[in-house]
Structure 1
Amino acid sequence: MTLIKHELRQGRISFLIWTASVGFLLAVCVFLFPEMEGQMEDVGDVFSSMGAFSGAFGMDRLNFGTLLGFYAIECGNVLGLGGAFFAALCGAGILSKEEKDRTAEFLLTHPVSRARIVTEKLVSVYAQIIAMNLVIYGISLDSIAAIGESVPWKELNLLHLAYFLLQAELAGICFGISAFVRRGSAGIGLGIAAGMYFLNLVANIAQAAEFLKYITPFGYAEGADIIEKGRLDGGLVAIGLAMGAAGIGAAYGKYCGKDVR
């Protein structure tokens, strides 16, 4: 527990900044809806006729004039990208920073197994992700209530669950990468998150590239698909969680036998 507390204390500034930023932007999007509601129907017609651009963001299948459609696109992009970047940053540097900051000698001389070190660092990563999602979920509910709209509970819960699973997968993958590098890997984490986002855009645009949805976690966090089907794609979620678990397994295998400098 000591290492968990230490990691949470070290990451509190980053956690507060990312949570406040994503929560603020999400609330702004929700508060903009009443002002734009009357114009959204015409805007939605325009967007739905923009071909590949509309398909890339699912705007051809959602009604911009409803809170749910507006939330899935505008707030979904904020939460999807913001949450993905935060999760990737949390996982990508958590193990490699001991060598980067030259604290490995101090940490590894304690009577604590490497497996326990990896476990406690992993717990601290997911504790931050869970806390961020709970705070943002509360901000979302409060914002919707503040504008006098009824909460679409089922769809809203599915959307937030999908983005949490997305973050969990990316954190697991980046956690695994962190065990293989000796320097800071923040750039790698951000690159993976951004790359996964653009892979999903390509999969939405080109029918021949639909197989990319099996690679990117944004494939099962697509707001248009979730609202249309009323559920998450279990197959894509299972593949995504398996990829995250593989990253975590690789972290244990590598770090426990690694020659740490």
Structure 2
Amino acid sequence: MVLFRHELKQSRKMLLIWSCAVGFMLLICMLLYPEMERQMGSMDKMFSSMGGFTQAFGMDRLNFASLMGFYGIECGNILGIGGSFFAALLGIGMLSKEESGHTAEFLLTHPISRIQAVWQKLAALICQLVLFNVICLACAFLSFALIDESVDGKAFALFHLAQFLLQLEIAFVCFCVSAFIRRSGLGLGLGLAALLYFLNIICNISDEAKWLKYITPFKYADASSVIPEAQLDAGLVTLGVCYALVAVLVAVFHYQRKDISA
């Protein structure tokens, strides 16, 4: 597990920066809730009557005046965008960086097979996403304690589970892409995450684009899809898991046969 530990050590600064930044934004956002609570009634009516904008961010299905509604809309977007970008950055560089950084020759001369290298890197990726979510959850719980509010435990847990699955799916797809490229693909990874985010917005706005929910993981992780009924869309989650597993298998298959340049 030397490579696993090396990956964790190499990415510790990025993990700390992203998790603290997203966690801090969640904390600050929820600390504003008591100050805004008095105006929530009129704001909820205003947001619920803004047509396409209301549908785009699920405000037609969430009560902005409630704690979980506010958390889902405000913090949900912070966690969704921040978490997906972090996952994309992790995944897109896991395999390609060995060639772009000219360290592939050093890595592959060690007594470790390519498939072992792939699985250890994948394990490091998953571990970092778990740590990222633990820190974000800690910041969320701290914010609730500071404002002396309690949340619906089931809806809260399912929402964060959906966010974690979203991050895993994006990270695994980017991990697969990483096996095919030889240079840094940071722009490609971030672009993919951003594209999937906007596909969900289009899906929310247009009835003719509802089929996009089968492509973007943001649909099953959307707060407006999880919080109102406190449940996940099992079909979309299963489809997302299948996408992730296929991406990993393709990455392993290709990397084993890839002509890796030093």
CA distance in 1 between partners of 2:67 and 2:79 (Å) = 16
Matched residue, 1:206: 206
CA distance in 2 between partners of 1:12 and 1:230 (Å) = 34
Query: Can you give the 5+ residue segments of structure 1 that lack an aligned partner in the other structure?
Result: none
CA distance in 1 between partners of 2:127 and 2:260 (Å) = 26
Matched residue, 2:151: 151
Matched residue, 2:187: 187
2:39 counterpart SS class: helix
Matched residue, 1:66: 66
CA distance in 2 between partners of 1:152 and 1:144 (Å) = 12
CA contact (8 A) 1:38 1:65 kept: no
CA distance in 2 between partners of 1:138 and 1:189 (Å) = 27
Q: How does 1:101-250 map to 2 (within 5 A)?
A: 101-250=101-250
Shift of 1:151: 2.5
Deviates more, 1:10-19 or 1:57-66: 57-66
CA distance in 2 between partners of 1:241 and 1:251 (Å) = 15
Once the two structures are superposed, what CA deviation does each residue of 1:72-111 show, in whole Å capped at 9, x if it has no partner? 0000000000000000100001100000000001111112
CA contact (8 A) 2:67 2:151 kept: no
- Residue 83 (1) aligns with residue 83 (2): yes
CA distance in 1 between partners of 2:230 and 2:75 (Å) = 18
TM-score (norm. length: structure 1): 0.99
Shift of 1:152: 1.6
Query: Can you give the 5+ residue segments of structure 2 that lack an aligned partner in the other structure?
Result: none
Deviates more, 1:225-234 or 1:123-132: 225-234
Matched residue, 1:15: 15
CA distance in 1 between partners of 2:28 and 2:55 (Å) = 25
Amino acid in the other structure paired with 2:144: I
Shift of 1:31: 0.3
Amino acid in the other structure paired with 2:179: A
CA contact (8 A) 1:172 1:244 kept: yes
Once the two structures are superposed, what CA deviation does each residue of 1:169-223 show, in whole Å capped at 9, x if it has no partner? 0011000000000001111110110000000000000001011011000010111
1:184 counterpart SS class: coil
Amino acid in the other structure paired with 1:234: A
Matched residue, 2:32: 32
Amino acid in the other structure paired with 1:195: L
Shift of 1:225: 1.7
Following superposition, which runs of at least 4 residues in structure 1 exceed 4 angstroms of deviation? none
Deviates more, 1:150-159 or 1:14-23: 150-159
Amino acid in the other structure paired with 2:54: S
CA distance in 2 between partners of 1:73 and 1:91 (Å) = 27
Aligned residues: 261
CA distance in 2 between partners of 1:3 and 1:123 (Å) = 10
Q: CA RMSD in A?
A: 0.7
CA contact (8 A) 1:40 1:64 kept: yes
Once the two structures are superposed, what CA deviation does each residue of 1:10-59 show, in whole Å capped at 9, x if it has no partner? 10110000001000000011100000001111111011001011000011
Once the two structures are superposed, what CA deviation does each residue of 1:226-253 show, in whole Å capped at 9, x if it has no partner? 1222200000001111111111111101
CA distance in 1 between partners of 2:222 and 2:94 (Å) = 29
CA distance in 2 between partners of 1:199 and 1:121 (Å) = 29
Shift of 1:64: 1.2
CA contact (8 A) 1:145 1:151 kept: no
CA distance in 1 between partners of 2:146 and 2:93 (Å) = 38
CA contact (8 A) 1:141 1:151 kept: no
1:22 counterpart SS class: helix
CA contact (8 A) 2:226 2:232 kept: yes
CA distance in 2 between partners of 1:210 and 1:8 (Å) = 39
CA contact (8 A) 1:158 1:226 kept: yes
